Amino acid sequence: MLIGIYKKNKKLPKKSKRKLIEAAKKRWQNPEYRKKQLKIFRSSEYREKQSELSKGRRHTEETKNKIGNAHRNKIVSEETKRKQSESHMGRTYIELFGIEGAKKRIKKQKKALKGIKKPPRTKEHTKKIGDVQRGKPKPLVSKALKGRNYISLFGIAGAKKKKKKISVGNKIRWQNIEYKEKRLKSMFNFYNIFPNKPEKKLNKRLNHMFPNEYKFVGDGTTFIGGKCPDFININGQKKIIEMNGNYWHGKERTGRTKKQEENQRIKHFAKYGFKTLIIWQNELKNIKQLKKKLIEFHNANI
């Protein structure tokens, strides 16, 4: 290479330079020489040496244009693309090009994409991507993004937009009852939910007063219109009993009064033909009043 022939910052005359280039071209026509040189150039030692020699040096705009024109419309193999991608993976623009270089790169990209609208992805296109990716290991990009937050990826303004977009998308998806029930079931299974203390007390009372009538389903066993009841009648009656905790269903957490909280649940299950009784946590203390309330509800006709 010419870098190794003359010292740094020392220029060769154009005539001498041309002679050296022509001599090098002749040598490269020899297959043995070519093979030997490629092996040297691809070695890690040579690359490190070249990297050290190139530190602090910058191409002129003319040279940059020449390199750009030489590489324009050049067909790159998939193997080369993969290697380039792996070498850049996990590295930011600042690491690759420096602060000023990163700014220029981002500015250039924005300018190139200005006015270009990305076409909406069709179902067929999404399915095609899924078919290609199915069964394959997770892409390397996930490794590059691991441990990085939205701000480091998109900046403060970009992170806000991204979060808002995800929030709107999630709200739309959660309006779908099938999606909602599927997600809730997976959450219940993941957290391995068991009856809490008030639910255990009420369950014991129900089994004692009405054997084989009510079953605890608050662990995600049953969903009705996207909501999971606590106890359901399993003996032919469309009746539900809800155990409301003072904290989880209180005004401080829900923003609703007790009456509003009760009506919301009662109206929801009524749409599906169920009669609902709400029992509050503090009512478990008064056994006599609790028994009376449960008997009236159980004996009442729908």
Q: What is the pLDDT of residues 2-13, one digit of tens each?
A: 444 444 456 678
Expressed in percent and rounded to 5, the helix, strand and coil fractions of the chain are 60, 5, 30
What's the length of the chain? 302
| 28 in any annotated domain | no
The total number of structural domains in the chain stands at 2
Other CB atoms within 10 A of residue 278 CB = 21
Confirm whether 207 is domain-assigned.
yes
Longest dimension (CA), the chain: 110
Is residue 246 situated within a structural domain?
yes
- Eight-class DSSP state of 1: -
Least-confidence region, from 34-38, 149-153, 257-261: 149-153
For residue range 118-166, list pLDDT tens digits in order: 667 677 777 776 766 666 555 555 655 666 777 777 788 888 888 898 8
**In-domain check, residue 223:** yes
Residue 13 lies in a domain: no
* Run of H or E including 255: none
Q: Is residue 49 part of a domain?
A: no
233 with 184, same domain? no
52: in domain? no
Contacts of 283 (CB under 8 A, 6+ apart): 289, 290, 293
159 and 213 share one domain:
no
Q: Which residue range forms the structural domain that includes residue 175?
A: 154-192
